[in-house]
Structure 1
């Protein structure tokens, strides 16, 4: 299972190369303000509500528990190499078989460095913008055992995120009249909250020869913009189906007085809501291989440490990720 019954913290970072041009354009125009009719300088193709919805869809990748896409780094050379990076640290645990309360949580940081285009009808100006966001996601669930190895787990999820923007030194080259049009980009912000839930089938099989974990999860979250300098509305529905499996078995070697295990992983996510296509792909898959150290022979808080290298693939997307997880 993605999160061990005894508990787990995981840190993941993924590097992807994406061919999608519009993925960064959604970000580039989100925080722009409308321009009055008498102004000659105007932002190109501004639709604030649409851009806000696009930003919420982007944030949903970091705010929705999903191993395949919780951490992404995208560079698009075809659009001036603007970048998007998301990193998440999360964990979850079921308290015990006698008290099958399940708790999960995650913190995510996102860094956006997009470009947007402004024009006065004759000349265009590409303006780099730097945005940073932080988000937190929590979940409360309950395990209903179907067999000794299979459980049904409904989960209630909640999330909150905050994004702030600034303009780099390129704004110094824009005239004073144009500055009035883009002042919201300078120290602009957006606050998003989300409520939703998930339904998970969790198979956990433990044998002396191997350990098998399989999860099938449907996640749903409704994200809304609840604050911003210009009171821009915005809404995004993030729903996805994820299949995750992990196989662990001894390598025949010993480390820390315990068997050293090899790890094989597979994960596939299908995006059904506003996430679908916003980064140029509708689905992501990953395969991984790694090693796991068992430190339970010692009086330490961490009982297992696992390092996994994954190959991530999808529509027009491929890359490599490295995951580090600790069980306790």
Structure 2
């Protein structure tokens, strides 16, 4: 049976709210400086946040999270992701996937100079890319076992922006990192997926169960920070598609129902205030395969995402080629 999915690209936007906490500032020696423990924890933390973006997952394809205000380490986080994957063909069962993601993390550090302390707001911008190659082992006509090798690259840059007037000409490796510093990271790991495809003329059912384990580590970065993180997650995704009865572009207009549940393990667990996320969605799919165009199907799906301390809505757009 030939898969009807083709290569799929998915983009979604989700607004969420979560509780966040940060370590209190520590005493410092003379000179303007940050607590090394504070900065190092943030370096590990930003890699843990990056780990959400390197694994394809509908529940985290875009997040916007805000923390409370204050001057002792508050932060805001935004992430969006574009990704897709598919098997080349039944005769060449090589599976390829890719994910591009960008995020912005706005931590506030507390710098000390003797008895004086002051909040320093920063902006950390990151980009990451993940590739995967796997092989489909056919268990039945509708069930495949798919091991995948994954490799990821990411970069985080820091900018003091508004706080640069205060830092001025002060030097120090920790301050240097905050002002246009850089943290590069690579990740190696893999995933194991069970893919069930039950296609009939009147409806289509897709179910995927996936476990991913990718280890992130910094390299060639600013001297003040070296970080590492483990991206581990288990995800169940299911989709049901069936005709609505309407005809558009000479093909049936179909409705789409989705369900996704993700359990976050390793360093992802609890870093954003939750251990798991669930998403339920509904939408429509337009079939343009009757025409000589590169896009064969277009899906628009609205989703409700919820978990401990977090909930929100999203709108996802996906196309098949």
Verify same fold: TM over 0.5.
yes
Query: Which residues of 2 match residues 140-179 of structure 1 at below 5 A?
Result: 140-174=133-167, 176-177=169-170
Aligned counterpart for 1:69 among listed residues 38, 60, 75? 60
TM-score, L = length of structure 1: 0.89
CA RMSD of aligned residues (A): 2.4
| 1:303 equivalent in alignment to 2:296 | yes
Query: Are 1:208 and 2:201 an aligned pair?
Result: yes
> Scaled by the length of structure 2, what TM-score is found?
0.91
* Gap change, CA 1:101 and 1:190, over 3 Å in 2: same
Cα distance change, pair 182–45 in 1 and its aligned pair in 2 (3 A) = closer
Tell me whether 1:259 sits opposite 2:252 in the alignment. Answer: yes
- The Cα shift of 1:176 comes to 4.7
Which residue pairs with 1:237 in the alignment? 230
Alignment of 1:183 with 2:138, yes or no, is: no
Q: Aligned-pair distance for 1:105?
A: 0.4
Q: 1:60 to 1:96 in 2, by over 3 A?
A: same
1:9 matched to which residue of 2? 9
Instruction: Give the stretch that moved more between structures: 148-157 or 39-48.
Output: 39-48
Unaligned 5+ runs, structure 2: none
Offset of residue 51 of structure 1? 3.0
CA spacing shift, 1:231–1:178, aligned 2, 3 Å: closer
Task: For 2:212 and 2:304, locate their aligned partners in 1 and report how far apart those are by CA, in whole Å.
Answer: 23
Q: Aligned partners of 2:108, 2:195: CA distance in 1, in Å?
A: 42
* Equivalenced residues, count: 317
Offset at 1:77? Answer: 3.3
SS of corresponding position for 1:68: helix
Report what 1:321 is aligned to: 314
Cα distance in structure 1, aligned partners of 2:221 and 2:180: 11
Work out which of the residue numbers 54, 58, 68 in structure 1 matches 2:45: 54
> C-alpha separation between the residues in 2 aligned to 1:134 and 1:237?
18
SS of match in other structure, 2:163 = helix
8 Å CA contact 1:35, 1:42 repeated in 2: no
Unaligned runs of 5+ in 1: none
